[in-house]
Amino acid sequence: MRIGSGWDIHRLTEGRKLVLGGIVIPFSKGEEAHSDGDVLIHAVIDALFGALSMGDIGTHFPPGDPAYKDISSTVLLEKAVSMVHTEGFFIGNIDSTIILEKPKLKRYIPEVVQKLSSILGVDPENISVKAKTGEGLGPVGEGNAVEARAVVLLEEKDESVWV
């Protein structure tokens, strides 16, 4: 087994979509970014690459590369997952936390989990997405940023079991 952790933060700005786990959340602000700025997916991708000891999201998808301008982070996640499989692992479970002052995310969480489940090929019961606020403290608490953290467990494929 291998464990990986990921973290990301993006500034919130008007005129951008708020995208979390591939789902557009209705709000007046969204992530400022070269891609769609999906902090949750970026944290998950960093956790996957971390578990593989294969660098981070910027190593594989450089932010200056025009190919990734405004790209949906779900596409990047699909590529990261296929690298996990190529390296001989599958995803055991994921635990994550989104930290955002507004809006309240609770009612969107089931949709986010479903979306991640379909991209990752992992049962929804093995995907945890939690949400909390910054308690009014710092850039997140003041509503100027959104942050996400993720931990993943990878398990080595045991080909002999499948024969």
Which residues bind to Mg ion, rule: CB under 5 A? 8, 42
d(CA 15, CA 12): 10
In the bound state with Mg ion, the residue whose beta carbon lies nearer, of 8 and 147, is: 8
Name the minimum Å distance from CB 160 to Mg ion.
Answer: 39
Which of 8/89 has CB closer to Mg ion?
A: 8
Report the residue number, 83 or 90, with the smaller CB distance to Mg ion: 83
* Helix, strand or coil, per DSSP, at residue 142: coil
Cis peptide, bond prior to residue 103, ω within 30 of zero: yes
Least separation in angstroms between CB 120 and Mg ion: 18
**Do the Cβ atoms of 49 and 17 come closer than 8 Å?**
no
Q: How far is the CB of 125 from Mg ion (least distance, A)?
A: 27
Provide the pairing of β-strand 127-132 with 89-99.
parallel
Output the residue with the shortest Cβ distance to Mg ion: 42
Nearer to Mg ion, 10 or 115 (CB): 10
Q: How far is the CB of 67 from Mg ion (least distance, A)?
A: 16
Q: Which residues pair with 19 in a beta bridge?
A: 24
